[in-house]
Structure 1
Amino acid sequence: MSALSDSRFRRLLVGQSLSSFGDSALYLSLGIWAKDLTGENSAAGAVFLCLSLPVLLAPFAGHIVDRLRRRPLLIAVNTVAGLGVLALFGVRSEADLWIIYTVAFGYGLSFILLRPAQIGLIKEILPGEDLAGANAAIRTIGEGTRLLSPLAGAALYTAVGGHMLAALDALTFAVAVVVLAGLRVRESAPTPPQTREPFLREITAGAAQIARTPLVAFTTVAVAASFAVIGLLDTVDFAVIEFGLRQPPSFFGVLMSIQGAGGICGGLTVAAMIRRYGEARTVGAGLLLGAAGTALLAVPSLPVVIAGFALIGCGVPWLVVGYTTAWQRSTPQQILGRVAAAADLFTVGPQTLSIALGAALIAAVDYRILLAVCCGVLMLSGTVLLRRSPQLTTV
């Protein structure tokens, strides 16, 4: 049985795809908006910092997800996020930059709840052997929307500004709510209050589960090291566009679409990679592709930079799907939200710090030096993962 043969997963995938289209069209354009308002690359990088900061609250979000049924929680969060994004209608000048940052932060809060809740809901719908295919389908469709949405978002932003993008994203949140409301899933009951453990132990249960699962623990260390430098790219990308390619900030949307095209290739092949080589080696291969792509960004040539973004895009699904499948398959449903939150904290947490570092360094350090650091760490982490693949125990 494949994931796509389940009608409930297909409906969830359609709703997720439409929502992802609106999300990526808007939040990738928020950086362009901030750059246009201020003229500073660091202002664009700060948008992605705001998007990532809420991951520090991920353990608490995972605790909430494991204490509630997933479908009603997804409906509530999508509703609140759709209303919150409309605050962007108040942005008129540089003085309103704080609204962009606030909405970006709100996006980040919604993501740390939506992601573990959706992962848990998918595991309720599908058997363990179909999870890699399900994750691959979600990632492939997501990359497909990124192929079109950055171009559409940048074009719409250039033509009429960010306010129409906000309206579009609010509409896609509404579509997601409608899809979820019509989904029929018999969910496992949350853990009864009388059987719960002390609060600190419950909050850290996700990290403890990762630590005692060899493949997940080993892969987490390598992925966390890589994400500790990947965040540099969120700011450096704008320097590559400005100094390397001599293009306006809106060209970021074009390059994100190129990365999305590479992501489709990665998404279509990742399930086969996992079946043949296992989760850890698939992640390692993805990191090596990212290292090669990052090295190409240092070359001031449009065709070479395009190839670099395509390679990075191809490597991302191998990294994300391989890692997600490893901990999703090996985790009991009762603590899946906390494991998802812990995995996000161990990856997006270091990424957040590197985004802040990139925004601080970009004005003083040549962007090519930052690219070299990122490339070196990705290459080292990928090589280490390819040399060892612990056994995965499926739950």
Structure 2
Amino acid sequence: MRELFRLRNLRICILGNTVTMIGDNAFWLAASIWVKELTGSTARAGVVILCLTVGTMLSPLTGVLVDRFRRKRLLMVTEAVTALLMLTLVTVDGPGQVWLIYLMMFLYGCSAAITSGAFAALREQLMPAELVSTAIGLSQALNQGARLITPGIGLGVLAGWGGHVLAVVDAATFGVSVLCWSLVRIEDPKPVREAQRERWTRHVGAGFRYLLTTALLLQLSFALALAFFAMGFYETLGIAVVTVGLGKPATWVGTLVTVMSLTGLGGGLLAPAIIKRAGPGRTAAAGLALCAVAAVFVAVPHTAVVLAAAAVVGLGLAPVVVSSMTAFQLYTANELLGRVTGAANFVMTGMQGVGIFVGVMLIDVLPYRYLVYLSVAVLAVGALYLATRPEQRRRRLVPAPAGMSGTR
């Protein structure tokens, strides 16, 4: 970790990213409440996150932009434009303008897809390959830490000053990030363009083709998809665990989320050391196995047991994400990184969405414990699959050489 903070450019990037992360999480949560206040409709409030998700799932398309333009410039322009668009929300004064919030959340999702892909592609200029897992682990820890404080910030600003002020504050966090990136002194070369005669669908599909034809990444993608599918159950299953299993109000789900965020923070910080010893594949397999074992105890109708299980799930899930993202980063040529990152994000978001849908469909049909056990089975399959793949036994990944094609 010390080596990371010795790098001036990376220190500045971490500052900018952390500020925008706090602004993002605070606004995303509060935006739903804002719509609820304006319309009185819970259903219309739920559309907010749907719009954000749809925008995020355009990551295969935004990945093409990341691989076609200068990454630092693209990131700065995207964040500056997002800040300006956020300011349009000050005109929202009633139910008739709620569509502006929906549109902004969709564009927010697109913006997040672009900036995450661009930042992944810029890591090569920001740090040596041996520090990549440490940087990704720190990012995961900061993300979990932000989840602990941003609900209070977002809802506090919304309650005290209203959604207009919250939008201005969020826009200001983008301004801070743009300022930080303007101070970063790195090369921002123009990516090498592929043959323009190829259909645009081939450019968009290059990330998926690379994942499908690179065994190590395909296996990690499959396991990661299973993990996010299983976690998707808990968007509705978590409420049943709390209300039916523990006999507590539905708001107590927030306690479980807080516990998972706390241990997820620790898991993000511990993951790089484990990856260096065991390799990303084994680390991901161990994390999934830990989650599967802990999830069994979520079905126990005892508060202390469920809290402990949530803590272990949070601890185990973080290394799964960090190790997978490390492998995607190191085993993909830079000119493909935007599209590969976009494809991976699409798989994760899409499978989580499928898991949410399955959970909603089954929660009133089956006893909640059956859904818990189904999530355990899915996580166990992912762990067993990775543990038995010879490609995942590598303790060290060699960075992909420049010019590696998407048809490997």
TM-score under structure 2 normalisation? 0.83
In the alignment, what sits opposite 2:316? 315
SS at match of 1:231: helix
Distance 2:104 2:329 in 1: 29
Point out the more displaced range, 78-87 or 218-227.
78-87
Contact 1:226–1:377 (8 Å) recurs in 2: yes
Deviation at 1:204, TM superposition (A): 1.8
* SS across alignment from 2:322: helix
Distance 1:101 1:241 in 2: 30
Instruction: Rate the CA distance shift 1:203–1:213 in 2: closer, same or farther, 3 A.
Output: same
Q: Percent identity?
A: 32
For residues 214-233 of structure 1, the aligned pairs below 5 Å read 214-233=215-234
Tell me the secondary structure at the aligned position of residue 58 of structure 2: helix
What is residue 249 of structure 2 aligned with on the other side?
247
Specify whether residues 305 and 27 from structure 1 end up closer, same or farther in structure 2 by C-alpha distance, changes over 3 A only.
farther
Per-residue CA deviations over 1:26-50 (Å, capped at 9, x if unaligned) read: 223445566777675x767654443
Partner of 1:376 in structure 2? 377
- The answer to whether the Cα contact below 8 Å between 1:151 and 1:254 also exists between their aligned partners in 2 is no
**Equivalent residue of 2:187, what SS?**
coil
Q: Which runs of 5+ in 2 are unaligned?
A: 401-408
Alpha-carbon distance in structure 1 between the residues aligned to 2:101 and 2:297: 31
**How far did residue 347 of structure 1 move?**
1.9
Counterparts in 2 of 1:345-384, with a 5 A limit? 345-359=346-360, 362=363, 367-384=368-385
Query: Per-residue deviation at 1:127?
Result: 2.0
Once residues 53 and 135 of structure 1 are traced to their aligned partners in structure 2, the CA distance between those partners, rounded to angstroms, is 25
Q: Which has the larger radius of gyration?
A: 2
**Aligned-partner Cα distance in 2 for 1:85–1:61:** 20
Task: Give 3-state SS (helix, strand or coil) of 2:64's partner.
Answer: helix
| CA distance in structure 2 between the partners assigned to 1:147 and 1:220 by the alignment | 28
Distance 2:92 2:236 in 1: 22
Gap change, CA 1:360 and 1:153, over 3 Å in 2: farther
Question: Which residue of structure 1 lines up, in the alignment, with residue 338 of structure 2?
Answer: 337
Once residues 84 and 285 of structure 1 are traced to their aligned partners in structure 2, the CA distance between those partners, rounded to angstroms, is 43
Question: Deviation per CA, 1:166-222, whole angstroms, max 9, x where unpaired?
Answer: 333222122111111221210232124667744333222212222232211111112
Tell me how far apart the structure 1 counterparts of residues 321 and 102 of structure 2 sit (CA, whole Å): 26
Matches within 5 A, 1:1-395: 2-30=3-31, 47-86=48-87, 100-157=101-158, 162-192=163-193, 197-240=198-241, 244=246, 246-247=248-249, 249=251, 253-359=254-360, 362=363, 367-390=368-391, 391=394, 392-395=397-400
Amino acid corresponding to residue 249 of structure 2 in structure 1? Q
The residue type equivalent to 1:146 in the other structure is R
The 8 Å contact of residues 243 and 250 in structure 2, kept in 1 or not, is answered as yes
Provide the C-alpha distance between the structure 2 equivalents of 1:90 and 1:359, rounded to a whole number of angstroms. Answer: 35
Amino acid at match of 1:78: E
Paired with 1:43 and 1:247, the residues of 2 have a C-alpha distance of 23
Q: Alpha-carbon deviation of 1:227?
A: 2.1
User: For residues 240 and 94 of structure 1, what CA distance do their matches in structure 2 show?
Assistant: 34
Q: How big is the shift at 1:362?
A: 4.9
CA pair 83-332 structure 1, distance change in 2 beyond 3 A: same
Deviations 1:216-269 (CA, angstroms, capped at 9, x unpaired) = 1111112112223322323434454555553364x5555433222111110111
Do the aligned partners of residues 260 and 279 (structure 1) sit closer, same or farther apart at CA in structure 2, a change above 3 Å counting? same
Secondary structure of 1:2's counterpart equals: helix
Root-mean-square deviation (CA), in Å? 3.2
Moved more, 227-236 or 277-286: 227-236
The code of the aligned residue for 1:132 comes to: S
Contact 1:260 1:313 (C-alpha < 8 Å) held by counterparts? yes
SS in 2 for 1:282: helix
CA–CA distance in structure 2, aligned partners of residues 28 and 366 of structure 1: 30
For 1:286 and 1:99, locate their aligned partners in 2 and report how far apart those are by CA, in whole Å: 41
Moved more, 140-149 or 186-195: 186-195
Q: TM-score, normalised by structure 1?
A: 0.86
Could you tell me whether the CA contact under 8 Å between 1:205 and 1:338 is conserved in 2? yes
Q: How many residues align?
A: 393
Tell me, yes or no, if the aligned pair for 2:239 and 2:250 is still in contact at 8 Å.
Answer: no
Distance in 2 (CA, whole Å) between partners of 1:297 and 1:153 is 30
Task: Work out the CA distance in 1 between the residues paired with 2:13 and 2:138.
Answer: 11
CA contact (8 A) 2:12 2:183 kept: no
Which AA in structure 2 matches 1:83?
L
The one-letter amino acid of 1:246's match is: K
1:281-327 Cα deviation digits (max 9, x unpaired): 21122223333454444455544443343223222321111111101
